A and B are shown apart, each in its own frame.
Chain A
Amino acid sequence: MSQFLVKEGVKNQIRKGEKLVTTHCCYCGMQCGMHIRVDEKTNKVMGVEPRYDWVLTKGKMCPKGVTAYQTIDHPDRIKRPLIKKNGKFVESSWEEALDLIERKYKEIQGTYGKDALAVYGGVSMTNEKCYLVGKYARVGLGTRYIDYNGRYCMSSAAGGFNKTLGIDRGSSLPWTELEHSDCFFMAGSNTAECHPTSIQWFWKAKDKGAKLIVADPRETATARVADVHLDLLPGTDSALANGIMHLLIKHDYVDHEYVQERCNNFEELKEMTAKFTPEYTSKITGVAAEKIIKAAHIFGKSPRSVVMFARGAEQQTAGVDNVSLYTSMALLRGQIGKFASGVATFTGQGNGQGGREHGQKADLLPGYRKLTDPKAVEYISGVWGIQPEEMPQPGVSAYEMFHLMEAKTIRGLHVICSNPVVSSPNINYVQEQLENLDFLVVNDFFLSETAELADVVLPATTWAEDEGTTTNTEGRIIHIRKVVDPIGESKPDWEIMSLIAERLGKGQHFQYNEPREIFDELRLASKGGKADYYGVTYEKIDEQDGVFWPAPSLDHPGTPSMFKERFATEDGKANLAVCDYRGPAEVQSKQYPLWLTTGRVVFHYLSGNQTRRVDFLKEQCPEPFVEMHPELASQYQIENGERVKLSTPRGDMIAPVKITKAIRKDTMFVPYHWGKKLAVNQLTSPALDPISRMPEFKVCAVKLEKLTK
């Protein structure tokens, strides 16, 4: 029955007249393996088939992955460039759109200087594209102002890892080892909903007796199966981590030899955590002291543990502190750099890992090099064929770019692969700044809320119409295959950027025929940097089920497990975090007496621009809702399903209530995947972490009102 075989020993259903193209999901950092069914005659996408043999996900997918193929040939696809004329979009030729962009870009930069034009990137695209966004901004446009949506996603994890471990790789271990771990300490991650296919690994371990500790204000689907659920107040993670470390020290769960040999700052940490007794920690976090004690003992006794966290702990003004402190918990136990133990963050976007390494960040160059390092500037200038003096200075973070738009420092913007008018905090302000721009260009394949505000919308391709690589949540570089040719007149982002660069007289720096050529340049650009991709090739990825960076030479197999001998800091030692609890930027008041936190549902991805258009996902979750405890609901005389008003000083929204005991009594939760009047990001706080410049999406003080009938 050979028609069932995709490869020896792996049976799939392959229908007559169809072929399977082997690739990965376009959405979250799990990057689940999948086959896409294509009709051989018509070359149309027909559906999806599980990829049972993909090492990390074994054919499993969440509903977003199952339906991802439906976005490819979707009726809402933008198939030709759109130019806004008299407030309405009119289809145009590429020629006309590029003419307009060239004229406007030259006008703006001619009058106000190079930096008056900015680029806003994203990481839901391949490494090739992410890399090129940085080069496009700095070489093509010559502007210093470039940042990307990963600022809202991974920047605190990056900041924390760099500070403690000296390098920012999302996971210190390959996740196929997780089944051998004895304990998971998970903070601010609802992995069951946000990275569903990871759950299989936790179950594998749990089936053998592993323990799960989850810190989350809600009893999520993940927390429901935890041995201890630490139901902390949003924004109090640093107190919790300090409290756990207090107990690790008190009960002598510290791996002294490891700490002595491989870590700095132990004495300082000991001093700082001294005051975080269970009682003190309980008072700040709202978690019962017994639960904190129980969690510390379970974690402390486990021979192999993994500390994991996600946006719940990271999207705070203390995001970097939280990541550093949680990482330090793993260090105290001597876990990092060993089998089936370590530390990891859950990458939210498909290429959240890779996309942050190749120079889309305001202050970074490819290979995780620093723009402030003259040697790095010299090396990259060489790769790019420019003079080091031509390299622009560091810019500012994503949210801060909107301030510069308000100040008219930035007058034109090119948004690539992002929807900031839904995904930013305080979006009423963001919308105003985008509306006031002289010129806004957006690349997208669906007309997002941000694209609606554009002067020119350029039709990009979906992930399935281009080849390339992404780097998954483990740090494993994988191969995305081209499934079909671009739909309509759409073009992959790398081609769009190259066309514009050409118009601006920089064409010689953007001579690419295919993504592979960009990848080869990226490999060279990252060579010798921290995130070294030099030894990674498409062939090697296919041969060995992905390659973990760093892979510094062609004969290097990659690095699944990090920090076996030393950390990536200057002295090779990890820096234990010594951080006090600071508290969120906003405090409750008479006017705003409750807490609001935000997050994802399993059915939607980021700003929802893709998933809100997929029938199944739309049916399952058509609109945002306010989750609250029955006790809180009864205080306000609110019934299940009733529409209520939430407000903060920045905005308000109306949404139906879902009543459940699986949430703290003082906290409400609203998912963020919708725009305009349905956007909870009208309410969220733009307070930034001082180091990562990550906004505090996860905590704000809010007012709840019953609507009069």
Chain B
Amino acid sequence: MNKIMYLEFERCIGCRACQAACRECGDHDAKERNYVEYVDFTESRQTFPMLCMQCKDPACARVCPANAIQITEEGVVLSAMEEKCIGCRNCTFGCPFGIPKFDFETNKMYKCDMCYDRTRHDIAPMCASVCPSDAIRFIDFDEMQQLRRKRTQMNLVEGKKPQEGNKWDYVPEFFGVYTDSQS
């Protein structure tokens, strides 16, 4: 598997299908693990989705005193292990993206596992599957590269080129999540 979760925030229409769909995944206990927020509703309706970045060196796992957060061989950062999690909630503070959630009833952390049951068989996660706007995509490395080149291509079509001081306007707004093992 050499797939990438590709986020394009600008495309998000705030429908929250990704959240509804997250609840539908096999081991998710009907609880969503991602979130969608308004950037600033007073100003505009722009929303953005966020899900686990499946970090290489995950802050959540690093701050976990009980070693309860496991990383699969494919690099997917899992929910806390039932028997190990001591309910300290360090992970919820540690994650820079606010991903780990806490279930106060079972005293246990739960989080996005990139729909492990799906993605390990190369089937798109629920959020990426349903997102009507392709704000969340589950794509091949090559497809990702092509999307990266798109902005340059569009600028050429429109006859624009970066000037000193506005180069950052030409960088696509996106976030990538990598998993890079074989299956």
Contacts and interface: CB of A to CB of B under 8 A. Distances in A.
A63 B44 contact: no
A200 B15 contact: no
A419 to B, nearest CB: 23
Nearest to B121: A4
Interface string B8-38: 0011011111011101101000000000000
B169 interface: no
Nearest to B10: A225
Contacts, number: 116
B17 A62 contact: yes
Given A4-B121, A60-B132, A15 B11 contact: no
Given A13-B121, A224-B44, A616 B26 contact: no
A360 interface: no
Contacts of A616: 19-20, 23
A600 to B, nearest CB: 12
A523 to B, nearest CB: 33
Contact of B24 (A47, A62, A193): A47
A1 interface: yes
B46 interface: yes
Residues of B contacting A: mostly: loop
Q: How large is the interface on B (under 10, 10 to 19, 20 to 34, 35 or more residues)?
A: 35 or more
Contacts of A640: 42
Nearest to B131: A60
A15 B117 CA distance: 10
Contacts of B117: 13
Contacts of B16: 63, 602-603, 620
Nearest to A640: B42
B149 interface: no
Interface stretch (B57-65, B74-82, B88-96, B150-158): B150-158
Given A221-B14, A602-B14, A192 B133 contact: yes
A199 B131 CA distance: 10
Contacts of B46: 224
Contact of A220 (B45, B126, B131, B150): B45
Interface stretch (A389-397, A405-413, A474-482, A659-667): A659-667
A interface SS class: mixed
B180 interface: no
A11 B131 CA distance: 18
Contacts of B10: 225
A67 B24 CA distance: 9
Nearest to A66: B20
Interface string A66-95: 110000000000000000000000000000
Contact of B26 (A13, A197, A203, A221): A13
Contacts of A52: 124, 129
A11 B120 CA distance: 12
B157 to A, nearest CB: 6
A77 B118 CA distance: 32
Contacts of B154: 207, 209
7 contacts: A4-B121, A13-B26, A192-B14, A198-B132, A225-B10, A602-B15, A661-B44
9 A-B pairs closest in CB distance: A63-B20, A192-B13, A196-B132, A66-B20, A50-B129, A221-B13, A197-B132, A60-B132, A61-B130
Interface of A: 1, 4, 11-13, 15, 47-48, 50, 52, 59-63, 65-67, 192-193, 196-200, 203, 207, 209, 219-222, 224-225, 602-603, 616-617, 620, 630, 640, 658-662
Given A13-B123, A192-B13, 8 more contacts: A4-B121, A11-B123, A60-B129, A62-B15, A63-B16, A209-B158, A220-B45, A661-B44
